Structure 1
Amino acid sequence: METKNKKLIGVDLGGTTIKFAILTAAGEIQQKWSIRTNILDEGSHIVPDIVDSINHHIDLYKMSRDQFIGIGMGTPGTVNREKGTVIGAYNLNWKTLQPVKEQIEKGTGLKFALDNDANCAGLGERWKGAGNDGDDVAFITLGTGVGGGLIANRKLIHGVNGAGGEVGHIIVEPNGYQCTCGNHGCLEQYASATGVVHLAQDLAEEYEGDSKLKAMIDNGDEITSKIVFDLAKAHDYLANRVVDKVTYYLGLAAANISNTLNPEYMVIGGGVSAAGDFLLDRVQKNFEKFAFPTVRTSTKLKLAELGNDAGVIGAASLATQFEENAN
C-alpha cells in the first residue's frame, strides 16, 4: 500500500486522560478519542488500557493493521527511546522501569516509538502549528510545570542522557525559589501555573495598597494563574506586578534559549499561555531587552496554535521514522 494512504496513531499519555488520534501520514487528524488514566496498582493498568483502546478502535473503524505506519506516544517521566522504556513518571504511579514499547508492540502488532510529552507537543507545534513546518523551532509549555522541546534542523535535541530541552530548569533567579529538582531559581518556579500563584502570594504579603488580588489572598480564597491574569487585564495593580515578574522571567529564558539556538520561532504553549497576547506582548518586551541583536530581529515569538492536539500530533510524527522501512 502506498505511504500516502497510510495512517499514524498518536497517543498523548497524561496523569488524568490518555488522548488518542488516527492521522494521515501528512499529519491531519481523522479520528480522535480519549480514555481516563487509571493510575491504580502502580499504574499497571495503563499500558493494557492503551493496547485495548487502540485495538478496539482499529476494529471499530474496520481498518486493518497493514494500513498503519506505526504508533507514537508522548509520556511523562524519563524516556529511553532506544529501549522504549519509561521510569519516574510519578503522576502515573510509574516508580519502576516500564517496558512500554515491548508491551504495546506485542499487544497491537504495530511498530511503536516513544518520547517525552513536552518534546512531543513541541514536535506537533513545529509540524502542524505555530512552527510553520520550520527547521528550527523552540517550544516552551507552561502548565503545572514548565517543559520544553527544542528542535534544530528538524530534529529534537535530546542531549547525551535525554535531558536536552529541560527549559523549565533554566535558572532565571540565582538563589531564588527552591525547585522540586533540588536547585534554586528555576524558570518552572516562576512561570508555571503554581509559580504564578507563589509569586502572587509573596508579592501580596509586602503590598500595602488597594487590590482585589490582595483581598482574595488575605481572605484565603483559592487563587489560580487564570485569576491572576484576568485581574491584571482588569487593571488590578498587584496582579499586574505579578504578571510583570512572570513575563520578565519568561522573556529572559526565551532570550537565553534563542541566543543559544537562534530558532526561527520560539513558541509558547500550555495552560498559562491561554492568557494570549496579553502574556506574549509583555514577554516580547523582555525578550527584546535580553536577546542578542541578530536574534532579536530573526527569532519570532509566537503563541502555540494546536492546543490539546499538539501532543497527539507530535507523538504520531515519531512513527514517521518507520515509513522509510515500510517502502
Structure 2
Amino acid sequence: MPQKWLVGVDLGGTATKLGITDDNGKMIHKWEIPTDVSNEGKNITGQIAYSIQQKLAETGLQKHDVKGIGIGAPGPADPETGVISEAVNLGWKCEYSLKEILEAETSLPVFVDNDANCAALGEMWKGAGSGSKDLVCVTLGTGVGGGIIANGQIVHGKNGAAGEIGHIISVAAGGASCNCGKTGCLETIASATGIVRLAYEQLAAQGQTGQLAGIHSKLGRLSAKDIFDSAKSNDTAAITVIDTVSLHLGIALANIANTLNPEKIIVGGGVSMAGDILLDPLRKYFTMYSFPRVAQSSEVTLATLGNDAGVIGASWLVKNGF
C-alpha cells in the first residue's frame, strides 16, 4: 500500500509551524509562515491552505498522497466538531469552525485539537514521553499551557477546556492580572512574561545592583533569557526570581500529580530552554509538595522535541483519526 503522508500544523498568534511526516512520525519537511491575524483572523485558514498547496507542489506530492491535516490551535477545542470556542490572540472572539472551514479550503480531512494538547501528544509519540501512556505536559512560553494524557488519550473535559494549567490560582490574594480576566494565575508567574515581571519587582525591591540590574540599565528592558543567564552567574536577584517561579510551578505540578499520578511530567516551551537552572529547583519543590508515593513514581523532565512537538502531535491526530 502506498505511503500516506500526514500534515501537521501548529497555529500560533505570531507564527504558524507546518510539517509533513510519515506514518511513523518522522518529519520529512517542515516550514514556518507568519500568522495573519488581521481582519479578525479570517485570512488564517486560507493562508494555511495556500502554504500546504505550495509545499506539495514543491515536493512533487499530490493531495491523494496525503491522509489528512492535523492542526493545533490556541483555546478550548472540541475535537469532534473541530470548533475552537475562542482564540483572542488570533482574532477569533467567538466560536470558530476551524475543521469545517479548513476542509473546504483544502479538500482534505482535518483534525483539530488544542495546541498544548498537540504538544503533549507529540512528546508522547516521539519525545520525552515515548513509551508512557500517562503524562502531563506543561508549556512555558508567552503564556502557560498544558496537556493531560491518561491511558494514551488526551483528557478534554466537558467542553474542551481541560489542561488549562496556566490558570491554576497560585496567588489567592493580591496576584497580578491575567489575560483570562482573573488575578494570581500560574501564567502570571511561570510564563516568560511573568518571569520578567517578577524580575522588575525584585530589582525595585533590592536596588539596581548586580548583573541583571546592569543588563536592565544598559538595554532598558529584560527578557526571560537574561534572567536565567544572570542566575547562572550567581546574580542574587535572578536566583530569587527563579526560586519564586520554581516554588509556584512546583506546587501546581505537585497538586496535578497528586490528582493524576502521571508517569511523567514534561516541561516544554521556550522557557524550558533554560535547562537545569530551572529544572533543579523545580524538582526540589515538586518533591517537597507531592504525596510521597507520587513523588517516587512521577518523573519531572524536559521536553525533547522543541518547536516540532506541536506539529508532530498534530500529525498524530491524523494517524489515529482523532
Q: TM-score, normalised by structure 2?
A: 0.94
Partner of 2:246, secondary structure, is helix
> Is 1:123 aligned with 2:121?
yes
Map 1:158-177 to 2 at 5 A: 158-175=156-173, 176-177=175-176
2:24 counterpart residue number: 26
Contact 1:74 1:114 in 2 (8 A): yes
**Unmatched runs of 5 consecutive residues or more in structure 1:** none
Aligned with 1:61 (options 42, 45, 59): 59
1:108 counterpart residue number: 106
**Unmatched runs of 5 consecutive residues or more in structure 2:** none
Map 1:249-268 to 2 at 5 A: 249-268=248-267
Letter in 2 for 1:95: K
Partner of 2:96, secondary structure, is coil
1:211 counterpart residue number: 210
Displacement after TM superposition at 1:287 (Å): 0.7
Deviations 1:242-284 (A, max 9, x none): 1110111111111111111111110001111111011101100
Displacement after TM superposition at 1:285 (Å): 0.6
Partner of 1:77, secondary structure, is coil
Distance 1:124 1:136 in 2: 14
In the TM superposition, structure 1's runs of 4+ consecutive aligned residues that sit over 3 Å from their partners are 214-220
Contact 1:74 1:120 in 2 (8 A): yes
Displacement after TM superposition at 1:100 (Å): 1.9
Distance 1:204 1:36 in 2: 35
Distance 1:67 1:192 in 2: 40
Letter in 1 for 2:125: W
> Is 1:16 aligned with 2:14?
yes
Contact 1:70 1:322 in 2 (8 A): no
Q: How many residues align?
A: 321
Which deviates more, 99-108 or 146-155? 99-108
Distance 2:78 2:256 in 1: 24
Contact 1:69 1:322 in 2 (8 A): no
Letter in 1 for 2:202: L
Measured on the aligned residues, the alpha-carbon RMSD in Å equals: 1.8
Aligned with 1:75 (options 73, 76, 89): 73
Partner of 1:150, secondary structure, is strand
Q: Percent identity?
A: 46
Letter in 1 for 2:311: V
2:135 counterpart residue number: 137
Displacement after TM superposition at 1:170 (Å): 1.2
Q: TM-score, normalised by structure 1?
A: 0.93
Contact 1:204 1:217 in 2 (8 A): no
Distance 2:208 2:59 in 1: 61
Map 1:175-194 to 2 at 5 A: 175=173, 176-194=175-193
Distance 2:208 2:179 in 1: 33
Partner of 2:321, secondary structure, is helix
Map 1:239-250 to 2 at 5 A: 239-250=238-249
Letter in 2 for 1:201: Y
Distance 1:134 1:118 in 2: 17
Partner of 2:177, secondary structure, is coil
1:196 counterpart residue number: 195
Deviations 1:31-54 (A, max 9, x none): 112222122222221111111122
Map 1:42-53 to 2 at 5 A: 42-53=40-51
Displacement after TM superposition at 1:99 (Å): 2.2
Displacement after TM superposition at 1:217 (Å): 4.7
Distance 1:59 1:216 in 2: 47
Which deviates more, 294-303 or 51-60? 51-60
* 109 and 241 in structure 1: CA distance in 2 versus 1, 3 angstrom threshold: same
> Is 1:318 aligned with 2:317?
yes
> Is 1:276 aligned with 2:295?
no
Contact 1:8 1:23 in 2 (8 A): yes
Which deviates more, 38-47 or 267-276? 38-47
Deviations 1:35-74 (A, max 9, x none): 2212222222111111112222223322233322211001
* 208 and 63 in structure 1: CA distance in 2 versus 1, 3 angstrom threshold: closer
Contact 2:8 2:315 in 1 (8 A): yes
Distance 1:75 1:237 in 2: 38
Distance 1:304 1:258 in 2: 17
Map 1:149-164 to 2 at 5 A: 149-164=147-162
Displacement after TM superposition at 1:93 (Å): 1.8
Displacement after TM superposition at 1:94 (Å): 2.1
Displacement after TM superposition at 1:216 (Å): 4.8
